[in-house]
Structure 1
């Protein structure tokens, strides 16, 4: 079924294929499910919640979407204790104090002490109050407190923010909103109902090889294949932190920088810190286990 004119007007892409091609042009290789979810998020002007393990490309999806659509990327990194002052706005108190002193000296008026010129705009307000196309990345929403999640729900429902001293600011142009979560805690159903949802898993080995090749120009086909195959072997182990695609790219980049065309047990052991970030995980794959994994990866890659 052909897309509506509304979808074209909102997203700038008439088909999912067009969006997928633009994302590939931004060096991001989504599977069809993710491409479809991003297309619908643009066309329907709905937030998109991306969940998955760390390092599978959730944040990169938002960055690449901004590049593909020619939009400004505004990122709100969530953390425990995040509040309105750091996410939405706060008043520039030092500047207000200077203004008060100047008013006492009679050089300026005390009026408009809470005017726009004293407002420090944080990511949410910056994303809503503007005319340019914006991709708003709300990264790792699961790390924020439930109270902030409830506040965010209100913002995403109406795309407006009320500042008592200035009134209600409504979005003149809705940003494309991407939320990411590593599922360190469950999000409320109310937030999930406001958004489209897509789970990003680890890619197939063929697509991971393609990702490595596009992100590391000049890397050898054999090295890309062996690195992807070895990381796939690691994911099958009982590790504290299985590596994601980001770690595959980092490791292949390190191997390429060393001038390697393929892997062996010695270079793997020397560079494990590029792909595994916990001492316990590194120790778990050393010695005989490491040699076995290297042999299996080389066989899988056709070495």
Structure 2
């Protein structure tokens, strides 16, 4: 799939054009995944832009994004394929009404096959391969990972009744994980790997500037620095870029031009996602450079 992009710089430029600012490491990982036709496993803390990377890649390529959201109990029927039992039953009844009989071979054909995300990606016939996002794979059960091995290794899915469906062009596969549990070594071996870290305050400021154009420069710079320092606290959930954008949007909506302690306290609901985190941030405000103002006599 080397014709999708010429190099990592082109990926950076084309993702930048669709509003996703990517660093050199992530751009290189995406380029290698598309040029080698290998699945890419993106790991990192929640909110660093793993899911957004796959979405932006599909937009930049102008190709379909096929998303499989993982969760505990996810089954093969929901991820790979399943049979249209209602349609099979209707076919049986119609045949019986005509005095005929359907064999199993008649019922288990492509006519009755329902494509789920993985099979849909394999059977895609567009001019470009689709981007398949397998989101939060760490939320699925260990057993579900084993169902992915054939697909990740061969871009193929076997339907016992019909045989093996292999992709004409391997889809661009991006898996994401928040590391809520360890993934199996066999899955990791089938993927390229990249860790996405939180952006530096400078790069965060660029992202915020694009996302919240109503905010002025001093507010953007101070908000980016504050979020970066808050992540150093002992929190249940450190704020990601999504929280930073929501927070800056709230500040801009309140017509805040320069960050002050009262502004932070009144808008903490956009940053802190638990009572303990709110308390921890509030108690650390003086250490973070936002002390209480002394009362005037």
Question: Normalising to structure 2: TM-score of the pair?
Answer: 0.91
**Structure 2: which 5+ runs fail to align?**
292-297
Asked whether the equivalents of residues 230 and 294 of structure 1 are also in contact (C-alpha less than 8 Å), the reply is no
Q: Pairwise mapping of residues 89-104 of structure 1 onto structure 2 (< 5 A)?
A: 89-104=81-96
What is the rounded CA distance, in whole Å, between the counterparts of 1:118 and 1:254 in structure 2?
50
Deviation at 1:292, TM superposition (A): 4.5
What is aligned with 1:110? 102
**Structure 1: which 5+ runs fail to align?**
1-5, 297-303
User: How far does the alpha carbon of each residue in 1:249-273 deviate from its partner, in whole angstroms, 9 at most, with x for none?
Assistant: 1111222222222322222212111
What is aligned with 1:16? 8
Would you say 1:259 and 2:251 are equivalent positions? Answer: no
Q: Indicate the RMSD between aligned Cα atoms, in angstroms.
A: 1.8
Would you say 1:202 and 2:201 are equivalent positions? Answer: no
Deviation at 1:114, TM superposition (A): 2.3
2:209 maps to which of 197, 208, 213? 213
Deviates more, 1:258-267 or 1:240-249: 258-267
What is aligned with 2:158? 162
Asked whether the equivalents of residues 138 and 177 of structure 1 are also in contact (C-alpha less than 8 Å), the reply is yes
What is aligned with 2:285? 290
Deviation at 1:102, TM superposition (A): 1.6
Deviates more, 1:131-140 or 1:264-273: 264-273
Instruction: Give the paired residue count.
Output: 287
Deviation at 1:216, TM superposition (A): 2.2
Runs of 4+ in structure 1 displaced over 6 angstroms? none
1:254/1:109 Cα in 2 relative to 1: closer, same or farther (>3 Å)?
Answer: farther
What is the rounded CA distance, in whole Å, between the counterparts of 2:90 and 2:184 in structure 1?
43
Deviation at 1:108, TM superposition (A): 8.5
